[in-house]
Structure 1
Amino acid sequence: MGFFCSIYHPAGLTLISHRVKSLTRGMAIHGIFGSTGSAIGPILATTAAAIISWRSAYAFLGIFNGLLAISTFMAIPYRKRSGMNETEFENHEETTNKPALILYFLTNALLGMAYYGFTTFMPIHFAENTSSILPNLTANMKAGIFPTMVFVAGIGGQLVGARIGERFHKPTALIFIIAANIPVFLIMGYTSDLLLILSGIMLGIAYFSNQPIGNTLIAEFTHSQNRGLGYGISFFLSFGIGSLAAGVSGIIAENMGVAAVFPAMGILLIPSVIFAFFMRKAARSA
């Protein structure tokens, strides 16, 4: 299941980069639906599991994706690549800026590690540290509701990222966006109740605002013919290498407490800012 699900990102984003003229805005809209799915998916799955069984949750999602595949095949017009001139594709690039691309991959790998670190332990962190907020709710319900609020805030982050990416130099903007995440991670680790919820919402906005800019930068740094490979490597590093953070975060949580995971993820982003700084220099020298 993981193998087939992972195919979507490089294929889908390559398709968007070749067919959408306002690329940063297109990536933001794509991210909005992704954040919406991240927020709604667990609710639908747990509802199906509670009403019928856990198997029904998988069956429901399988049927939904089958219908989605059919609608995608019917709705998106097919273009035979061999019958088209490369310049007919949107966001056409004839060279690959390898130094800038490699530095972006390193930047994104650390962002992916921070993402897996905070999403893995966010539910239990909210459940344990929001006792005065909605006290009638069980810890399990809080572990579902409050992280959902963070993903919903991520929708706003996608819009903010698109607006920033369209108005400012994207590599420079990415530096400041990553840097803005660091204090928010620190705040999440040392607050509780209302301040914790507010900092979680801030994190949703700050973190997800990097995505439309980052996905646009891959398109700008890669040759049009190699763009799918560029997205594939990026998501391999973000999801694959990034997922190692879940294990590291588990060690931190076991020895120092769950709250310590969030400042650790903030510290992890410091080298990400440094890589992004050198990426900006490589982008300008091209």
Structure 2
Amino acid sequence: MNANDRKITGFTMAGHAMVHTYELSVPIMMTVWLVEFAANSATLGTVVAVGYGLFGVGALPGGLLVDRFGSRRLIVACLVGMGLSFLLLSIAPGIVGITLALGLWGLSASVYHPAGLSLISKAVDQRGSAFAYHGMAGNIGIAAGPFVTAILLVAVDWRMAAVILAVPALLAALAGLTVEFDETAAVAATDGGRHTADIDSFREFVSASRGLFTVGFATVFALVLFNGLYYRGMLTFLPEMLGEFLEPLVDIAPEEGIGPIPDGRLAREFDLAQYLYAGLLAVGIGGQYVGGRLTDTVSVERGLALMLGLLGVIALLFVPAAGTLPTLLLVSVALGFVLFAMQPLSQATIAKYSPPERRGLSFGYTYLAIFGIGALGASIVGTVLTYASTTAVFVLLAGFEGIALALALSLIVRE
């Protein structure tokens, strides 16, 4: 990589890691909010769905803003907005304040993916390496978010933890304003630096959207939507459910090697389930690597169907496996590995069923499905967890993947 490539890769890696660090810190904080605000899972699931929903819904207009204002400005605005949202979260007086803070986070974070991916595609000569590092940074953020948040909650209360978490995004924004790089270096090498947006009006947007939604792409859109419901529903309440599973299996006393844990807030917030949650997300780094290799060795439709089938089976096995500690650890590792092995396969499938000239628009729509509509998974699972049972939650999640699997099989049939 040349100097420009390295600067942009480092900048986008920082942005991608920050987005997912904040995204996955929220489920850990929810375990505290459930107690502090005496809220049930249905209420908090809906509150979190607001922020996660805006995270997805904003991706489509975010892509249009990138074409008009450039990637650097949008990424810096994203980082500043995320930092300010967590500062606002730290002074939230109750559920309404948390909702507003998470809504600001969702709007701010929503522009990152179209901005970051566009910047790499237009400015980096060695795009393959840059995309690889960019993806790894995102997975590191996914694992670091819950782990760092859990560590902070042992030492400080959740409000101070939110303040501390806000600092890295603000520092990254400052770095983005000061570092020098060429946003169109790769484009300049091919067309003299001229770049115009493909879509300049609402009429062109509607026309391009109609052309994009072939039967194949519509099937992929629906497939990633149901997988998004599984992803968000699973990850949002998994720390709470893991805590329920671990309670009868693990009895941690102060004399057993982890040091004294005082009564009160620290004792309540120290939760082994949070560390198990962070660990299964860390396993996803290896899953993404394997999923990426599979895209080069098998048809993406068959690889996708395999992963969807495995995720459905894992959901059905989770509650029975939670009966012993070894099997709970095994099923948790399997979930983390397969869930993120899905990502490169789904991205390759989206690319296959969309024309190159509309690739940005296609990812805008699919991010809308995965993170926007998929955010309803948090609300749905929270409601089921409140009024039904944990077993019903995992059966519901398996149902989401069963529908997605049927759609993947329809793609295989049409091959």
TM-score for the superposition, normalised by structure 1 = 0.82
- 1:99 pairs with one of 206, 215, 239: 215
Q: Which has the higher contact order (CA 8 A, sep 6+)?
A: 1
| Residues 232-271 of structure 1 mapped to structure 2, 5 A cutoff | 232-271=364-403
Distance 1:280 1:47 in 2: 45
Report the CA distance between 1:27 and its aligned residue. 5.3
Partner of 1:79: 184
Distance 2:184 2:376 in 1: 38
The reply to whether residue 161 of structure 1 matches residue 265 of structure 2 is no
Structure 1 residues 52 and 136: alpha-carbon distance in aligned structure 2, compared to 1, 3 A threshold: closer
- 2:305 pairs with one of 169, 175, 179: 175
Partner of 2:230: 114
Partner of 1:91: none
Which consecutive unaligned segments of at least 5 residues does structure 2 have? 1-104, 194-210, 254-266
Contact 1:114 1:268 survives alignment (8 Å) = yes
Deviation readout 1:50-100 (Å, 9 max, x if unpaired): 5455444334333312333454563764116875647x9xxxxxx957332
Letter matched to residue 214 of structure 2: K
Contact 1:31 1:212 survives alignment (8 Å) = no
User: Percent identity of the aligned residues?
Assistant: 25
Structure 1 residues 136 and 49: alpha-carbon distance in aligned structure 2, compared to 1, 3 A threshold: closer
Deviation readout 1:116-170 (Å, 9 max, x if unpaired): 1111221122111123554207675123111111101111110110111121111
Q: What SS does the aligned partner of 1:168 have?
A: coil
Distance 2:176 2:357 in 1: 23
| Residues 125-274 of structure 1 mapped to structure 2, 5 A cutoff | 125-131=241-247, 133-136=249-252, 140-192=270-322, 193-274=325-406
Letter matched to residue 345 of structure 2: I
Contact 2:152 2:161 survives alignment (8 Å) = yes
Contact 2:120 2:127 survives alignment (8 Å) = no
Partner of 1:92: none
Alignment length (residue pairs): 276
- Structure number, greater radius of gyration: 2
Which consecutive unaligned segments of at least 5 residues does structure 1 have? 89-94
Distance 1:116 1:145 in 2: 19
Letter matched to residue 373 of structure 2: I
